Structure 1
Amino acid sequence: MSFPTTHQPRGATGRTIVVLDERESTAQEVLHGLGVPCVHARDLGPGAIGTAGTLPAGSAVVLDALGIAILEDASDLVSEAAQDPRAAVVTAEPEVWVHAFTEAPEPTTPLADTDASTWGLLATGVVGPDGVATAWDGSGVLVAVLDTGVDEAHPDLAGRIALSRSFVAGEAVHDANGHGTHVAGTIAGAQAPAGGQRRFGVAPGSDLLVGKVLGDGGSGTSGGVLEGMNWAVEQGAHVISMSLGSAVGEGQGYLHYYEAAARAALAAGSLIIAAAGNEGRRPVGSPANCPSVMAVAALDQRLLRAEFSCIALNGDGGELNLAGPGVGVYSSWPVALGSYRSLDGTSMATPHVSGLAALAVQANGVRGQALWDRLVAGVRPLSEDEQLVGSGLAVAPTAG
């Protein structure tokens, strides 16, 4: 079985993503003024944005909810406008390849699951030591999963998928990779899984928006991720879970288009939660390194930083915010590939936190920045410092 961490395209795709200042005019008017014809994301077919080279030469596609446009070929005028403080182009940055942050566990990785629950649910207080689950299940909360899609036929996700859409050209939402199905299961897997399996879903009452932004090979583009984010915000997602990203060098800043998108999402009440990355003692990856994106580190069964989990070496958004269980995580897997599997990765820690965020929305009636603040305030302190694990372990909310 292949995992989406090797032999993947890296670096820039060749396209350009611009953040537009729309205070005085629409994004379309700004681009037309620079001689760039544009279309709107909603008018294109699935995958037209997420696959480099599919837009007409010299054109741009506008993500209306985010104030962002993606250009197939960046003109000199656009580049010059980005340097002019009087122009309506705030930044112009390269689109980059993104991939899922997953590690294949060693065969000898010990698990501390019980017959009734995974160790991650026990550690986060979703299930108590006495086996009694929290009263909250995420009912009424909409969580967007931007990943490799989902196996919609999986019995433990039945009734949980409110809406799905593929943003990958030529590929259906169906997850032939496994990563997205695993993530979705950790967030919203059934409270009583099929066949007597132990419970692994944090918020089994939540509803999922499944956006396929990574292909079955585990890769996609930042433009495709932005399209998925735009869609999730338009659909009113309370939480946007992104177990994906790109590696970042020491001293390298965040991509401004991701930060602009995250700010727009947060203002609309959608909290973006993203994986810190699996590069070990390297900086938190992108887009988790944005100030307005909640960055999640991975813990092992000892509640210590997993050795692969990226650390906070860069400032100005490159910090870790909190941590979740990320080693030996048991969850759903495409039925045709075995139905269940254990994986390691910050990709596994992130949906734990996303599910806990859904519980907090239900329990406390908060969203956006208030939800962020509630999650951080409620963490369980850990023995390692913030550079390694953020503020602490995310846990289930208490009443009130």
Structure 2
Amino acid sequence: MQNASFRLLLLAAVIFNPVASNAADRCRQIADQLDAELEATLNRNARERAAIADLKRPYDGLAKKLKDKEITGAEYSAESEKWSKAETCMNAENGMKEAQAHYIRQLKYIEAKCDKGPISDNAYDLRSEIKRRDNKCSVADIQTLASMKTQVNEIMADKAAKEEPETPAVKQVDASLKQSEFCNGIRAASTQASTFFKSIIGEKKSITEEGFGFPGTKMRELLQRDVYTTPIVPDLDFLSSKPSCDVTIGFNPVLVQRVPPTYGCTWSYEKISRRDLEQKADRLFNVVRGCFAEVSEAPVQVYRHSFIAEKSAQVEGGAYFGEGKPSNISIQIRKYTPAADLACAMYLSSKKEADREVCMEKHIRN
């Protein structure tokens, strides 16, 4: 979400301020290129994590050998430990590559003179991840690790050969459920966007991020956001999954990187085909379109679906296909703030307090 919001800010600067258009256009192009590189790296990393999870582990075979007295208890423990340490090493390497990707993206943007720096340590602490990787891999058995990496590469290649292609998004208004309880909930959430969801914010949730191994407190500082429960949990039978809904409030000191107050819901699926997932997502967003009297498609389509509801709320989201692992459909609603977006983009270069004040209108004031 942060990268998408940043591109929207730069686009606003290009459209509304001819003086800053050349520099903003150059930085927007650089940001798009770097975001594409980052996304490609993160996708590769996600595929690697999925392949590691799919590895055929030796524990059952070792247990049978131990039961049949083909190996001793000490041999069982030694072989199990070899595998466990090698797997921990691979996961640590994956986490390091994730952190490195974010670091390189920000470094290149600063080197292009589109940001003054310094490199933020709020997103991912690369040095910490390198140290963790070195510690975990220093005790791994080299042969076991090499064998595991070969298996991971084979699994990734096999999955790539069988991968389902993404289907084109279907965008149309479905007003059949306009008076339903679902639409009542969606409209209530979008109405609350103008006041930053203050009246529908519940208790603060502990933030966790599967795969990184950080406790909730550390993840909060890394992601620079707080997440709260909310009583508005709209659902649709055809989604075949109960949603998890919350309100996110960012607090990154760098305004253009701060997540604005956002209401969001996620429908998770353990096993689902890409086609089924994307069809459900399209149907969901088309029903949401039909909940409002007026909708207009967003000028920049960063997500599978992105539109403005009644000139006051930005609605966006889509489907994430996990390639055999958990997949999800997500929707986010936030206040539509084109003037504040423009001011945030201008503040990048102007550093004027007036631009900052208008930019802050898209956030809750402290």
Greater gyration radius? 2
The structure that is strand-richer by fraction is 1
The structure that is helix-richer by fraction is 2
TM-score in terms of structure 2 length: 0.27
TM-score in terms of structure 1 length: 0.26
